Structure formats: C-alpha cells, structure tokens
Structure 1
Amino acid sequence: MITGRCECAKVRYEVDCELKDFCHCHCSICRRLHGAAFASWGGIARDKFSYISGEDSVKRYAFSENSDSIFCTHCGSRLLVDCKPETHMLYLALGTADGDLACPPGFHQFVGSKARWHEIHDDLPQYDEWPDES
C-alpha cells in the first residue's frame, strides 16, 4: 500500500497496487509544472487509487489535448497526471508519496529535451522521447 499527500495535507490518497514504469521525466512540461530539472513518476492502476480526504480540494489542468495535471487547489502540489488515452492507468507524482518506495527507478525519458544545466549521474537507461519510441 502506498499512501501520500499534498504539501498542506488537505489532500491525502492511497494506492493499493505496485508501481509500474517508475521513471524520471525530463520533458519541458514536467520541468515547468514541477519547477525542477525533472519529475519522478510511477504508473498505477486507476482503479487502485483512492482519495482518503480532500477530493474536493483537487483541480485539473489540461496541459495537452490528452493529459491533465491533477493538483491541490490550496498548496499547488501536483499529485497525478491523467493521460486520457490510457484509461486503466494514472501517473503518481512520486515526491508526494509517504516514506520510501520499494520500487527503484527504471529509466529517464525525454532526455533529448532535458535542462542543459542538469547532468544525469546514474546508469539507468536514457530515452530521447518515450521509451517505446526511442
């Protein structure tokens, strides 16, 4: 079981499944929305995610035709991405999870558009775009 929350703790969630595709995304959208060199994501089964509290404090921002960012309206913490074509999955912002995650990161994606000032210092596979398109 994974639990987590936004920074102000008005929104709390739980996930009753293992992570899939734990990755670090370096695309410009993730960098802007996170305000960081990259964002760390884990795929989760949509039907295994639930809000413990604060669902009424969540808002969606459509950052593309097919994807919404889901965030807390009070503190702005980005919690999830909903890639609408993937009807069975959500992507959890792993920085919002409580404690350590049992699953290690698997890869870096969109390194072709990573911040020039950021250097990757690990041996994880790197993909210029989506892993299945590189």
Structure 2
Amino acid sequence: MNADKPEDPQRQGLRDRLETVLIHTEKATSWHDQATRLRGLVNRDGYVPIRARLQIEDLEFLAGARTELLRFAELGLRLLDLHQPRDAGGITSDAAHPILRCRSCMWRWPCPTFRAMSESFGTSREEPDTSLPETA
C-alpha cells in the first residue's frame, strides 16, 4: 500500500502556470527606474515617444503581463474573501478583543494564508511588513 498520494493534476497545473509566470517575470527587465524619467517625456497627446531594446524575455513578459496581473488581482481578492476573521465564539476575559479565527481555514487570526498575502502584497518589496503578530 502506497502511503504517498499522487499529486493532484489541477494543483500541479496551477503550480506549473505560476512558476512559468514567475520565471518570465524574473527574466524580464525592470522598468522601475526608467519610469520616473519617462514621465517627464509625456507629449501633449499623452504618449512617450521612446525607443527601447527589448530582449525576447521582455517581449514574452509584456505580451501577457496585463492578463497575468488581472488574474493575480482576482486571485488575491478571492483569497481575501475566503480568509477573513470571525469571532471564535469562545468565552473570553476580554470582551473588547475576542479571539478571532479565519472563517475558511479556522487558524487563529491572522491565518498563514493572510500573513503570506500581507507579506507579499501589503507593503513594498523593499520594506517587509512587521506589523502582523506571529501566531501558531
């Protein structure tokens, strides 16, 4: 009897897709530093006439960037809808601060899913969010 269950094909497919997006994103050139400089070049029609040398990785990233960002935003909103606090319903000595649990996974709030999302999306990538308490 094999105790290891085979990987769920839907989960594996989603993981493969996310890893592909991550690889394309990491290979593409960041425009963060150039964006500030380019804002000053907007013409009266609202465009920036530029010339850029793009590598194939940049083109692959740009081709799907809008769609991927929309999908990630939708995913984030759906996860936030699923993972939100609710009163655990127990007796507490501090009625003003009841014990909260995630309504989806039932971990103490903030749950690991919410903490991971908050760490990834809550602040800029350079400044890690340290405002959330660590819970077991």
Same structural fold, with TM-score higher than 0.5 when normalized by the shorter chain: no
Q: TM-score, normalised by structure 2?
A: 0.18
Counting strand residues as a fraction of each chain, which structure ranks higher?
Answer: 1
**Greater relative contact order (Cα 8 A, min sep 6): structure 1 or 2?**
1
Q: TM-score, normalised by structure 1?
A: 0.18
Q: Which has more radius of gyration? A: 2
